[in-house]
Every structure is written in structure tokens, then in C-alpha cells.
Amino acid sequence: MMRPAMTRTSQLALRADLLDFTAAPHWGSPTMHGVRFRPDHWLLIDADGRIAGAEPAAQFTPGPDWQQQDHRGQLLLPGFIDTHVHAPQMDVIASWGASLLEWLETYTFPAEQRYADPALAAEGAARFLDALLAHGTTAAVVFPTVHRASAEALFEAATQRGMRLVTGKVLMDRHAPEGLRDDVAGAQADCEALIQRWHGRGRNACAVTVRFAVTSTPEQLAMAGALCQRYSGKGGVYMQTHVAENRDEVAWVARLFPEARSYLDVYHRAGLLHERAVLAHGIWLDAHDRALLRDTGAHIAHSPSSNLFLGSGLFDWPAAIDTGHGVSIATDVGGGTSLSMTRTLADAYKVQALRGTPLNAWVALHAATRGAAQALGLGHEIGSLEPGAMADLALWHWAQGPVAAHRDAVATGAAAGLAAQPLHARVFAWLTLADERNLAATYVAGRLMKGATGM
Ligand code: GUN
Ligand code: ZN
């Protein structure tokens, strides 16, 4: 199991090329707005695991009270934030031949049934969080299963690793097989117990976790909305669900809730849309829905790899920008085919290419770091290299393998000056070609997570 390499008592200084964001970058042609690139700097980390500052290596040498790790020539980013991913679905990643509803029935529900066993849930939670760290992801908003023990297992495993985690037992009281259904009263009791035990404890937070409108009765949705209301405001509970992913699903929801204006409106009527609401997909939304997201502060966890793999559709990111609602990035494993956020962002580029608008690397990386943190109300803690933020970090090789090495050499060589935005050209090539093999190290609260990369 991946453990912190040691409990650090000293201050740590990491030397690398530092990249993060101070504001939301512009859509379209890349500019440097909001981009903070500090080549060859020392990132200074206090003994409590928080970032103290950064200094240029050419002009500064950390004193003897700093433990130094020299990774010059490597790229240091805030750890990625995966805002929608299913821990138990590592068991069904890359399952053949089905679109959403058939995929759930054929592969996913049978796999999730097995998580009724607390020992299996504990093993699965540990494997899953170690896998996130091995992909440079240090924080996540996670679906377990309907079983309370599966959420407990994730909280326990995240606490052991010191990771920032948002999760909650999945609510589903209809249209699911035996062993995966709860009921309103039991679900409420489980949610309340999880909130009392885990919400705000360490770096854990609870989410009212509605699987999707299909698998909850109106009574259960109302109960979930009442929970959001009871534990609302700053430091309140999150809400996570799926919305408007697949056309057959959208049609089913319309039949189940004929009184609602739209799929999103089902959640709105139940009181589930608020500033801590994370809704995966949002492909089949209209302008009214997008305005509702903006006005309630809810945001979309865009899951491009899943949307391509399950043939769900192409997310309209420019419409989200024009409307002004939040967008973060998610792997949605096991609908998604990788826990790598770089691969996922490369897929996001391809989705927008199919829609006719290129996604630039700055918008993409911002959505997976600072943008996600802010959408979750956690901008003070994660997603940036600001002083005071937790030192949740991923250190990357600029290139891995001969093709990427050649491409990076071109991007940094004599021809680089010809590019309008040479840094963007280099980072875009890195983002498009990189995966977990590029990861050199992962840090959580300034502690090296041994084993993340076989170190
Ligand atoms: N909609 C309801 N459940 C799921 C799930 O597990 N994965 C995806 N991609 N969509 C869903
Ligand atoms: Zn999902």
C-alpha cells in the first residue's frame, strides 16, 4: 500500500519548473492571462505541509534548515483534482460494447453488488486511492456504492493517506437490482451517520450522492434535497450526481418526471442545485439549463473520455463559458478509460476539435487544478502553488519515450521561437502525450507518497 515516505518534521524545498494559475485563462487562442510559469524555482514547503513561497534558483539557495530535493528540468504542478470518478468501477474499466444504460446493467451494477462486503470495499478503496496518486491526482470527488461501508472505507483510506476526499454513500431506491437498492429512511440514516462521523474531519467532506434521477424516487430526491438544506452554506455538504449524459437516459427521465421542464429541473425542484453541487456530463442541456447552473452555482464535471467511450455525446464547453457556469474535469472511470487526467484532458481537446473549437492547454489545465478547486469552494486549500495552500503536488517528466522526447526537443529548440506562444506549444505537446509514465513523484501535504511511481 502507498504510504507517506516519512513524517516530515523539517521544511522542504523542491527545485523544478513551477506551473499554476492565478486567474481563469481565456478560451480560444492561448494568451498568458492567468498563467504563472516559474522556470527553475525552489518551491518552499513548511513543516505543516503548506506552501510557504517560491524563489528563483538563480538567485536563492535554501538554508540548512531546508531539506532540498533538486528536480531541475522537471515540471511541478498542483496535484490534479478528479471531480467525478467511481472507485468500485476500476473492476469494469474497459468493458466492451455498450452505451450507458446497457453498460450499467451488464457490467457496473454486478460489480457494485460485490461491495456489500466491507473487506472487499476496504481493499478496493486502498487500491483506488493508490491508483489516483500513481496518476498525479491528489484530490477527488468519488462515487462508492450504495453500501455505507464502501463510503466508510474510502474515508478511512483517504485519512491514512492525508488526501482531500469528497464522497458519500450512493442513493438508489429504484430501477436497480437486488442488493443495490436502499430505501428513503435507511438512506437518510446512513447519510446522517456519515456526515456526523466524517464531514469536516481532517480533509474529508461528505456529498449527498444521488446516482441519477432514474434510480431515486421523488421521495428520495426530496430527502436528499432536505439533507443539502440542513447541512448547507460554507463548509456544508456537497451534492454529486449525473445529468443529461445519454439520449436514452434523458428520455427515460422525461417519462419518469413529466412535470419537470428538463432533466436538470428534476434536481432543481428537489433542492439539489447549489454551490457545492457537482453534476457529471451535462451534454444534453439547453440554454435555460445552463443559466440555471450559473444561477445556482452548481457546476459540470466534464468527462470526455467516458463520453467518447460510451458514445454519449460531445460536451458544449464554449456554451458553458458563454453562459458563465463552472466546468471541471473528471475521468469518470469506469465509463472513462483512464485515471490519467492528462489523457482525459487530451480527450477533452479531441471532443472540442470534433465540435470545431480547439481547447487550449491553459483552459484545460486550469479546469483540472485551480478551476476545480474553486468550483468546489476549496481554492484556499488545493489547486494552486499559492502560499498557504496545501503542498499537494505532482512532479512530471516533460517527456517519456523517444517520440515525446523528440517533440519536446523541437518545442524547446531553435524552432520554438517561431511559435506565437512557445510555452503553450511545449505544454500542449506535453499534455497531449503525457500519461502516468511521465509522473516522477506525488506529494500530499508535502509528503512524498512512496510507491506512486515505483520510487
Ligand atoms: N449514470 C448513472 N450511473 C452512472 C455511472 O456509474 N456511470 C456513468 N458514466 N453514468 C451513470
Ligand atoms: Zn459517473
Task: Note whether 315 and 281 are within 8 A (CB).
Answer: yes
The per-residue pLDDT of the chain, averaged, comes to 96
Query: DSSP labels for 220-271?
Result: HHHHHHHHHHHT-STT--EEEEEES-SHHHHHHHHHH-TTSSSHHHHHHHTT
35, β-bridge pairs:
21
pLDDT at 454: 47
Distance 280 CA to ligand 2 centre (A): 6
Distance 241 CA to ligand 2 centre (A): 8
Q: 375-395: per-residue pLDDT in tens?
A: 999 999 999 999 999 999 999
Task: Note whether 440 and 453 are within 8 A (CB).
Answer: yes
Ligand number, closest to the Cα atom of 301: 2
Residue 417, Cβ density class (10 Å: 0-12 exposed, 13-18 middle, ≥19 buried) = exposed
Query: DSSP labels for 40-104?
Result: EEEEEE-TTSBEEEEEETTT----TTEEEEEEEEEEEEEPEEEEEEEGGGGGTTT--S--HHHHI
Higher pLDDT, 360 or 3: 360
pLDDT for residue 3 is more than 60 = no
Q: 153-166: per-residue pLDDT in tens?
A: 999 999 999 999 99
Q: Which atom of ligand 1 is nearest to the CA of 303?
A: 9
Instruction: Domain ranges for the chain, please list them.
Output: 11-78+387-450, 80-339
pLDDT at 415: 76
Q: Which atom of ligand 1 is nearest to the CA of 335?
A: 9
449, β-bridge pairs:
4
Lowest-confidence segment of 3-7, 36-40, 420-424, 433-437 by average pLDDT: 3-7
Percentage of residues in the chain having pLDDT higher than 70: 97
Name the pLDDT band for 419 (thresholds 50, 70, 90): confident
Name the pLDDT band for 234 (thresholds 50, 70, 90): confident
Protein fold of 80-339: TIM Barrel (3.20.20)
Among the listed residues 170, 148, 178, 260, the one whose alpha carbon sits nearest the alpha carbon of residue 224: 170
pLDDT at 451: 62
Distance of CA 328 to the CA centre of its chain: 7
Across 19-26, average pLDDT: 98
Cell, residue 251: 428520455
Q: Work out the widest C-alpha separation in the chain, in whole angstroms.
A: 68
Q: Do domains 11-78+387-450 and 80-339 have the same CATH topology?
A: no
Distances (CA, A) of 7 to 64, 158, 235, 329, 335: 19, 16, 28, 31, 36
Q: 306-353: per-residue pLDDT in tens?
A: 999 999 999 999 999 999 999 999 999 999 999 999 999 999 999 999
Helix axes 402-412, 422-433, angle to 10 degrees: 170
Q: For the chain, first and last CA: distance in Å?
A: 13
Q: What is the pTM of this model?
A: 0.97
Task: Note whether 315 and 282 are within 8 A (CB).
Answer: yes
Q: Any idea how long the chain is? A: 455
CA dihedral over 152, 153, 157, 158, signed as positive or negative? negative
Among the listed residues 34, 40, 26, the one whose alpha carbon sits nearest the alpha carbon of residue 398: 40
Residue 418, Cβ density class (10 Å: 0-12 exposed, 13-18 middle, ≥19 buried) = exposed
Distance 392 CA to ligand 1 centre (A): 28
Name the pLDDT band for 418 (thresholds 50, 70, 90): confident
Across 10-36, average pLDDT: 97
Across 262-287, average pLDDT: 98
Pocket of ligand 1 (CB under 6 A): 86, 100, 104, 108, 211-212, 242, 245, 306, 332, 335
| CA nearest ligand 1 atom 3, residue | 211
Quote the CA–CA distance of 199 and 183 in Å, as a whole number: 22
Protein fold of 11-78+387-450: Urease, subunit C; domain 1 (2.30.40)
Question: Could you tell me if residue 38 is left (phi over 0), alpha (psi between -120 and 50 degrees) or otherwise beta?
Answer: beta
Q: 397-416: per-residue pLDDT in tens?
A: 999 999 999 999 999 987 77
pLDDT for residue 188 is more than 70 = yes
Name the one residue in this structure whose C-alpha cell is 430527502: 223
